[in-house]
């Protein structure tokens, strides 16, 4: 797949990132991860980052949680990332670019921008209003091994609608309902789904 050669995206060295999530998905996040991110991260051209597993692209990945349900999003073929067409996701997120601002605030600004682009909200929450629930450093496919997912949960008191209805469809679903569509979940959403159904610390393997 071809990428814009001038697009700059935020990355960290994989060696640094992997120490925080050695099991693929980690819910035990040391406090020095967020403190170190502005220092350890930098921008590089996306075409290079997509091919080099020595770096991980930072992706804020927000679960929208309403009551006992999560927002499940299905990507249409009009959406830009071909690898996600027809896939269901329970996370809203995307790359962080230089437009998102200063290093010390860039994760906060990046996730606010992504939420405002994809969801019908004029006041997207920042890090202070989200619950950090885990990190994903998964190496089971070529896409995941060059990304780092910062997984957060946004607890809403009323459903938030999809803004880009031409690119995706959204529905609030219980975990049981999501489980029934597990074969359609994209990789990260499948990992998170499994952790919600069976917490990481309670697994037998």
Look up the CATH number of the domain holding residue 160: 3.90.79.10
- The predicted-structure confidence for 121-133, as pLDDT tens digits, reads as follows 988 999 999 999 9
Asked whether residue 204 is domain-assigned, the answer is no
Q: What is the dihedral of CA 33, 88, 86, 94, to 10 degrees?
A: -30
pLDDT at 197 over 90: no
State how far the Cα of 149 lies from the Cα of 72, in Å rounded to an integer: 17
Asked whether residue 3 is domain-assigned, the answer is no
CA dist list (Å): 64 to 30, 49, 183, 190, 199? 24, 28, 21, 16, 19
The structural domain count of the chain equals 1
Asked whether residue 191 is domain-assigned, the answer is yes
Cβ pair 65, 48 in contact under 8 A: no
Asked whether residue 74 is domain-assigned, the answer is yes
Angle at 120 between CA 69 and CA 84, to 5 degrees: 70
Least confidently predicted of 84-98, 111-125, 136-150 = 84-98
What is the pLDDT, as a whole number, of residue 85?
54
77 or 204: which carries more pLDDT confidence?
77
What is the pLDDT, as a whole number, of residue 2?
60
What is the pLDDT, as a whole number, of residue 180?
93
Please state the pTM of the whole predicted model. Answer: 0.88
pLDDT at 76 over 80: no
What is the pLDDT, as a whole number, of residue 75?
78
Asked whether residue 2 is domain-assigned, the answer is no
199 or 113: which carries more pLDDT confidence?
113
State how far the Cα of 64 lies from the Cα of 99, in Å rounded to an integer: 24
Q: Which of 122, 130, 116, 148 is nearest to 63 (CA)?
A: 130
What is the pLDDT, as a whole number, of residue 198?
63
What is the pLDDT, as a whole number, of residue 204?
45
What is the pLDDT, as a whole number, of residue 103?
82
Residue 148's H or E segment, with its range, is: strand 147-155
Structural domain of 49:
8-199
- The predicted-structure confidence for 30-75, as pLDDT tens digits, reads as follows 888 989 999 999 999 999 999 999 999 999 999 999 999 999 998 7
179 or 29: which carries more pLDDT confidence?
179
- In DSSP terms, 169 is beta-bridged to 74
Question: Which range, 1-5, 20-24, 74-78, 94-98, has the best average confidence (pLDDT)?
Answer: 94-98
State how far the Cα of 199 lies from the Cα of 34, in Å rounded to an integer: 23
Asked whether residue 132 is domain-assigned, the answer is yes
Asked whether residue 17 is domain-assigned, the answer is yes
Asked whether residue 55 is domain-assigned, the answer is yes
> What is the number of alpha carbons within 13 Å of residue 6 lying toward its C-beta?
0
Least confidently predicted of 14-18, 106-110, 133-137, 200-204 = 200-204
Residue 79's H or E segment, with its range, is: none
Backbone angles phi, psi at 154, to 5 degrees: -110, 110
Rounded percentage of the chain residues whose pLDDT exceeds 70: 89
């Amino acid at each position: 797949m071809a990428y814009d050669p001038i697009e700059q995206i935020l990355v960290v060295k994989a060696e640094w990132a992997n120490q925080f999530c050695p099991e693929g998905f980690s819910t035990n996040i040391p406090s020095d991860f967020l403190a170190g991110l502005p220092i350890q991260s930098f921008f590089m051209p996306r075409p290079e980052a997509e091919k080099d597993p020595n770096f991980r692209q930072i992706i804020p990945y927000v679960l929208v949680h309403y009551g006992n349900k999560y927002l499940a999003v299905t990507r249409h073929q009009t959406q830009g990332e071909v690898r996600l067409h027809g896939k269901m996701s329970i996370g809203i997120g995307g790359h962080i670019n230089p437009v998102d601002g200063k290093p010390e605030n860039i994760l906060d600004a990046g996730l606010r921008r992504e939420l405002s682009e994809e969801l019908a909200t004029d006041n997207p929450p920042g890090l202070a209003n989200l619950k950090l629930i885990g990190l994903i450093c998964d190496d089971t496919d070529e896409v995941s091994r060059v990304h780092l997912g910062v997984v957060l949960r946004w607890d809403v008191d009323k459903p938030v609608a999809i803004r880009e209805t031409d690119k995706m469809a959204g529905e609030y679903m219980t975990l049981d309902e999501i489980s029934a569509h597990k074969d359609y979940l994209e990789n990260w959403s499948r990992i998170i789904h499994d952790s919600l159904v069976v917490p990481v610390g309670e697994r037998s393997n």
